[in-house]
Amino acid sequence: MLRLRLFILLLFFTKIVFAQDNTANLLQELDRTIAQQELYSNQKESKITSLKALIKDKTPELQKQLIYQQLFNEYRLYKSDSALVYARKNVAIATKLKNTRKINQANLDLASIMGTLGMYKEAIDILANPTLDYNTAEKGSYYNINRSIYGYMADYASSKYEKSRYLSFVQKYRDSALLYIKNPSTEYTINQSEALIDKGKYEAAIQQLKISFQTAKSNDPNRAVFAYIISTIYQKKGAVSEQKKWLVLSAISDLQLAKKENISLRNLAFLLYEEGDIDRSYLYIQRSLDDALFCNARLRTYEISKMLPIITGAYQQQNETNKKQLIVFLICLSFLTVILLVALLQLFKQMKRLKVAQKEIHDANQQLVALNLALQTANLALNETNNNLAET
């Protein structure tokens, strides 16, 4: 029984260590990804420039509308203001073409990007437009966008009453969206997983999202969304290590696709701050702020502005502490250097004295050798004298 417990404990400990090593490796990959942000942004700009080059004065309206749609998709999570411009251009061309399906899609895109920019009233007014008659396929997007907008409003509600009211709209529109969205699809997975989370069915939601994450292509922007939702579930469960791991995966995916409208890196920055990793926390929150300002994501900027002073304060305090420690270290080093110099000086003097003593000993030895030679000569002479005496 004792052996079984020890084996289980060892297995659990090994699993924890492996998870920590895996997360540490992912954090290093995230650091490298941040260092290469200019590369990913250049790739995005190059693609956008190529699309813009296709627009000519004589380009047919229908073809131009398709290009505008592509530009909207490229800008949607990259630069919100530009996405809004192309969404409005799409509405204008679709209206000019008198194509009902294109008019509906263009208005849905316009409402969606307005929600991202915090233009909630304008977005809701567009969605409530009675002249827009959505077919069965479009109703899924219609309800899904409503769900997203009321979700944003719930996140930034100023009181519990408004928050509760907006969340009721979120649930209502989510349930309606699930009736019309195709299954399987990204939108269905996201809405279904959120419904499972609300019911407390965390494991079922995690299983569903992990499958979607693993099967999604690396260039799929929703891959980061799947990872982020998984992180929120682990947060509810209190599994901080897993929460951090999936936030890192989500942030890497966002950055590699040059998605400036993101949330994972910001949440990861605050989590690392709570764990005491101030340097990374400061780096990530600064990167998040730069992205939010570039994208003109006002709500993300507002969220970051609440956290930035806390993390910046801790970073400055850490720098001050490090500075004081460095000063103390330099003082100690200087003191030790002085002691070392004094010791070297004393050693030099001792060596000099030793050298003089060695020279004196050498000279004495030379004199002793000379005296020994003289003594040997005297002994020889004495022996000769004694021999002569003996003969006499």
| Residues listed for the chain | 392
Q: How far apart are CA 41 and CA 71, in angstroms?
A: 15
Q: Which two tokens stand for residue 364?
A: 């004495």
Question: What pLDDT does 114 receive?
Answer: 95
Banded pLDDT at 6 (limits 50, 70, 90): very low
Q: How far apart are CA 281 and CA 334, in angstroms?
A: 34
Residue 325 above 80 pLDDT? yes
Residue 305 above 50 pLDDT? yes
Residue 9 above 50 pLDDT? no
pLDDT tens digit sequence for 249-288: 999 999 999 999 889 999 999 999 999 999 999 999 999 9
102: CB partners within 8 A, 6+ apart: 65, 90, 93, 94
Treating both helix axes as pointing N-terminal to C-terminal, what angle do 37-53 and 2-35 enclose, rounded to 10 degrees?
50
pTM metric for this prediction: 0.79
Banded pLDDT at 172 (limits 50, 70, 90): very high
Beta strands (DSSP E) in 91-238 are: none
Question: What pLDDT does 20 receive?
Answer: 53
CA 225 to centroid of chain Cα atoms: 15
The count of other CB atoms within 10 Å of the CB of residue 211 is 13
In DSSP notation, 274-334 reads: HHT-HHHHHHHHHHHHHHHHHHT-HHHHHHHHHHHHHHHHHHHHHHHHHHHHHHHHHHHHH
Q: How far apart are CA 176 and CA 144, in angstroms?
A: 8
Beta strands (DSSP E) in 322-387 are: none
Tell me what the mean pLDDT of segment 317-345 comes to: 86
Question: What pLDDT does 18 receive?
Answer: 41
CA distances from 43 to 46, 127, 279, 299, 362 (A): 5, 34, 28, 26, 81
The count of other CB atoms within 10 Å of the CB of residue 346 is 10
Least confident of 53-67, 97-111, 171-185, 358-372: 358-372
Contact present, 251 and 221 (Cβ < 8 Å) = no
* Number of Cα atoms under 13 Å in the Cβ half of residue 61: 12
Banded pLDDT at 148 (limits 50, 70, 90): very high
Residue 4 above 60 pLDDT? no
250: CB partners within 8 A, 6+ apart: 224, 225, 227, 228, 231, 264
242: CB partners within 8 A, 6+ apart: 19, 231, 234
pLDDT tens digit sequence for 22-65: 899 999 999 999 999 999 999 999 999 999 999 988 889 999 99
